[in-house]
Amino acid sequence: MTTRLARKPADSRFALKRDRMLKAAAFCFNQKGYSGTSLKDVADQLGLTDAALYYYVRNKEELVYQCYLRAAEVGREAMDRAVSDGGNGFDQVRRYLRYHVEIMVGDRGPVAIMSEIPSLKPEHRDEVLALSRSHSTRFEAMLERGIADGSIAQCDVRMTGNAIMGALNWIPKWFHGDATIAQNIVDEFPHILSSGLKS
């Protein structure tokens, strides 16, 4: 028990530093892509030597893989919270969009855009694709709940889900940290992306 408690501060510091690294890496990958980003770019963003990054990852492929796992976790967290807090299907969709956007443009952003999945080695690629499919399936189920309870109009949930998720997931590509724009995104995007769903 004592040993476990003694590890907590160190574990917490490691997690915070790792999260900071993944945010910096997400920023670089979103701006320059996988091929255009080096570990030195990420290290420069953090004010570290590139050798320091090897404490957290073995190479660039593992770094982008970890960024994608973080992006999937952020989406899952937002969706879990929306389902827990929300009422009907439409309310859950609006909450999910707001919660996800708040993370993307808030202190926990940026989040990596999953646009470089082909650059991953097969086992990492398969895992990330499975997480992405699972998330899309959950969002489509949310739309189906709204159709069933009458809060969302009849629609092709696959096409509708792809359109909404595509617009949502592209925000980190063009958002660069301006606080005023961040608030506008939080205020407007959930409404813009969901207003066409109402029954």
Q: Which domains occur in the chain, in start order? A: 2-197 (1.10.357.10)
193, 164 contact by CB (below 8 A): yes
Cα 161–chain centre separation = 16
Q: Cα separation of 185 and 70, whole Å?
A: 21
90 neighbors 44 (Cβ within 8 angstroms): no
Run of H or E including 77: helix 60-85
- pLDDT value of residue 9: 64
Closest of 15, 142, 126 to residue 75, by C-alpha: 142
Using CA atoms, how far apart are residues 95 and 185, in angstroms rounded to an integer?
14
Measured CA to CA, the distance from residue 86 to residue 80 in angstroms comes to 10
158, 130, 27, 145: which is closest to 95 by C-alpha? 145
- From first to last of its 199 residues, what are the pLDDT tens digits of the chain? 444 444 466 678 888 999 999 999 999 999 999 999 999 999 999 999 888 898 899 999 999 999 999 999 999 999 999 999 999 999 999 999 999 999 999 999 999 999 989 999 999 999 999 999 999 999 999 999 999 999 999 999 999 999 999 999 999 999 989 999 999 999 999 999 999 999 8
Backbone angles phi, psi at 106, to 5 degrees: -95, -160
Rg (CA), the chain: 18
How far apart are the C-alpha atoms of 80 and 96, rounded to whole Å?
8
Q: If we measure between CA atoms, which residue out of 102, 97, 197, 75 comes closest to residue 145?
A: 197
Q: Residue 50: its pLDDT value, please? A: 84
